[in-house]
């Protein structure tokens, strides 16, 4: 089953075309990595999936993105973003809120829980899912800004999981973290892969090799190659991919 | 001249200029305290709660003026703050819209606008039709003076929030309304509240907008929003023009009270507001 499919997808900032005719099929419940050098359009591509690109008034999209066969442009952006959650390059928990409130926010404001008890239960569930509960259970009401970078990133994952998305977009989630924190996030991705479709953007081919089932190589806004991760890494079809994997591109 | 000496000379010059610029401020505070404190001590509680003394006969009190200043500031806030905050939010959210652009131009003009003309305007639209000065007219004039400050602070506070928090909030599937009011506005709380307090502190001491609107009342307390009301600034303005010694004393006492109210609005601003670390 295909979770996300792009059809002749192009994206522009003003006149500048940064995504050029991308056709991708992302199967359900896999970890799908999008790799490529800096500036090749990974973040832009990812943000077109959940229509977050629309926050930028200069951005424009052509073609289509389908979620389980249905165009995301036929849904409300609200609905799309609830089904397709996102984690960002820089950990961005709301600094004026406690750890608890960060996770509770989406539940409360989207009216997803009926009682205080359910709210607490779901927040705890999400923090457990994000492998953060044990570290914060005694200081759940402290400000989120007091956490370390890696913990903040897992808090952001918990915040996203709390509203029960089906797809998880991760835009270089470990780019600003130290190696230990990065390993924790990668372990977490491994645990979440059974229940979610995860699309992870990375500029590190090593990370793509470690975490993903499928990998797509994006270069200057074009999809160069896509396939099962082992296959692409063992026998890349394109000369460009081969050179990228050997560290000669970007 | 050796370079070292030149530099020192230059720094010394800057220090002198800095002192000269803040000197008047200290002089104002100094004279208000020196002249006003004895009046306050002599007049005691009665000075704060009593009504105005007859010319040449004791200190009496400035109660109606103090209450009037509070009522005017409160009413002006009630009218001005919601509109100003909404306008600020709108201008920050839709900077390219016609209303957003218009708001920005109008606000810059309003900020520089002579406040006495605001008073004249309100006199035309409210005082003349109603046939009398009133608290509501004074409050409206103050609200108009207050709004641009609050709006600009609100807009700036919202705009200074890094884009990644906006993305995070929208990414959760929140409506724009909820993103702005339930997440971003709270994040920008410090800036918005600062703007509100600055607006309030500004109008609490204003005189010109009240001259043709509030009317003044120094012997009776508040009689209704559609009746004339006093204000400390108006009282000072009126008293110093009178030839009576005791009225000048009262004016100094009232000045000290006004300064204390001003500080009472500003101090919490500096002390109690929690800083949001971004
Ligand atoms: N808001 C924007 N306005 C205009 N151009 C943009 C904007 N954001 C990105 N771009 C341009 O679009 C292209 C793709 O950017 P994008 O951020 O998608 O790349 P990326 O692959 O995510 O890069 P990185 O690895 O550095 O995050 C780049 O050339 C970039 O300069
Ligand atoms: Mg990027």
| Average pLDDT value for chain B | 90
In a domain? residue B41 = no
Q: Residues of chain A whose pLDDT is less than 70?
A: 249-250
Q: Is the pLDDT of residue B278 over 50?
A: no
Question: Best interface-test mutation with B: which of A56, A94, A126, A199 has the largest number of B CBs within 10 A?
Answer: A94
Share of residues in chain B with pLDDT > 90 (%): 65
In a domain? residue B251 = yes
In a domain? residue B3 = no
| Residue environment code for A32-54, b if the CB has 16+ CB neighbours within 10 A, otherwise e | bbbbbeeebbbbbbbbbbbbbbe
Nearest CA among A30, A72, A196, A33 for reference residue B173:
A72
Q: What's the average model confidence in pLDDT over B164-187?
A: 95
Phi, psi of A231 (to 5 degrees): -65, -45
- State the residue range of the domain holding B247: 63-272
pLDDT of residue B272: 60
From the CA of A16, give the closest atom in ligand 1: 5
Share of residues in chain A with pLDDT > 90 (%): 95
In a domain? residue B70 = yes
Which residues does chain A have within 8 Å of residue B183's beta carbon, measured at their own beta carbons?
94, 105
pLDDT of residue A59: 96
In a domain? residue B5 = no
From the CA of A201, give the closest atom in ligand 1: 22
In a domain? residue B19 = no
In a domain? residue B12 = no
Q: What is the DSSP letter of A145?
A: G
Nearest-CA distance B269 → chain A (Å)? 18
Q: What's the average model confidence in pLDDT over B157-175?
A: 96
In a domain? residue B47 = no
pLDDT of residue A99: 97
Counting every residue, how long is chain B?
278
Neighbouring residues of A87: CB distance < 8 A, sequence distance ≥ 6 = A153, A156, A157, A160, A168, A169, A170, A171, A173
ipTM at complex level = 0.94
Local confidence band at B268 (pLDDT 50, 70, 90 cut-offs): confident
pTM over 0.95: no
pLDDT of residue B276: 47
C-alpha span between A167 and A162 (Å, rounded): 13
Pick the more confident residue, B267 or A87.
Answer: A87
- A72 is written with which tokens? 């995301």
State the total domains in chain B: 1
Task: Give the three-class secondary structure for A85.
Answer: strand
| A105, A92 Cβ separation under 8 angstroms | no
Local confidence band at B25 (pLDDT 50, 70, 90 cut-offs): confident
Report the CATH number at residue B128: 1.10.3720.10
User: For residue range B32-57, what is the model confidence (pLDDT) as tens digits?
Assistant: 999 999 999 999 899 999 999 988 88
User: For residue range B73-125, what is the model confidence (pLDDT) as tens digits?
Assistant: 999 999 999 999 999 999 999 888 898 888 888 888 888 889 999 999 999 99
| A6, A24 Cβ separation under 8 angstroms | yes
Ligand 1, atom 14: nearest CA belongs to which residue?
A41
């Amino acid at each position: 089953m295909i979770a996300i499919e792009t059809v002749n997808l192009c994206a522009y900032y003003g006149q500048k075309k940064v995504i050029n005719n991308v056709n991708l099929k992302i199967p359900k419940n896999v970890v799908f990595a999008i790799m490529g050098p800096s500036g090749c359009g990974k973040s832009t591509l990812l943000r077109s999936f959940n229509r977050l690109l629309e926050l930028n008034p200069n951005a424009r999209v052509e073609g289509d993105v389908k979620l389980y066969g249905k165009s995301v442009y036929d849904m409300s952006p609200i609905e799309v973003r609830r089904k397709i959650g996102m984690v960002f390059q820089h950990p961005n928990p709301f600094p004026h809120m406690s750890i608890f409130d960060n996770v509770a926010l989406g539940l409360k404001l989207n009216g997803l829980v009926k009682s205080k008890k359910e709210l607490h239960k779901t927040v705890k569930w999400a923090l457990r899912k994000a492998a953060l509960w044990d570290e914060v259970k005694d200081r759940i009401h402290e400000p989120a800004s007091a956490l370390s970078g890696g913990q903040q990133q897992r808090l952001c994952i918990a915040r996203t999981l709390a509203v029960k998305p089906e797809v998880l977009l991760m835009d270089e989630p470990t780019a600003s973290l130290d190696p230990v924190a990065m390993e924790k996030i990668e372990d977490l991705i491994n645990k979440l892969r059974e229940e979610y479709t995860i699309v992870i953007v990375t500029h590190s081919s090593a990370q793509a090799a470690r975490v993903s089932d499928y990998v797509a190589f994006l270069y200057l806004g074009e999809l160069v190659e896509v396939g099962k991760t082992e296959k692409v890494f063992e026998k890349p079809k394109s000369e460009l991919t081969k050179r990228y994997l050997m560290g000669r591109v970007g | 001249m050796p370079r070292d000496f030149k530099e020192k000379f230059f720094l010394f010059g800057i220090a002198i200029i800095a002192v000269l610029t803040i000197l008047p401020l200290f002089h104002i505070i100094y004279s208000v305290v020196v002249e006003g404190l004895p009046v306050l001590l002599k007049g005691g509680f009665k000075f704060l709660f009593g009504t105005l003394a007859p010319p040449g006969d004791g200190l009496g009190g400035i109660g109606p003026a103090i209450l009037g200043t509070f009522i005017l500031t409160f009413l002006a806030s009630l009218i001005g703050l919601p509109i100003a905050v909404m306008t600020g939010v709108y201008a920050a959210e839709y900077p390219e819209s016609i209303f957003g652009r218009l708001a920005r131009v109008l606000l810059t003009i309003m900020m520089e606008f002579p406040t006495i003309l605001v008073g004249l305007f309100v006199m035309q639209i409210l005082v003349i039709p109603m046939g009398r000065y009133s608290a509501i007219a004074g409050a409206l004039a103050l609200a108009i003076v207050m709004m641009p400050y609050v709006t600009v602070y609100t807009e700036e506070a919202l705009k200074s929030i890094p884009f990644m928090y906006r993305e995070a909030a929208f990414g959760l599937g929140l409506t724009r309304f909820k993103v702005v009011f339930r997440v971003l506005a709270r994040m920008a709380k410090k800036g918005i509240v600062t703007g509100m307090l600055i607006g309030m502190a500004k109008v609490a001491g204003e005189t010109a907008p009240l001259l043709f609107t509030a009317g003044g009342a120094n012997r009776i307390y508040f009689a209704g929003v559609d009746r004339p009301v006093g204000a400390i600034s108006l009282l000072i303005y009126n008293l110093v023009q009178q030839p009576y010694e005791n009225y000048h004393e009262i004016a100094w006492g009232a000045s000290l009270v006004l300064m204390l109210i001003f500080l009472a609005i500003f101090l919490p601003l500096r002390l109690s507001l929690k800083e949001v670390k971004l």
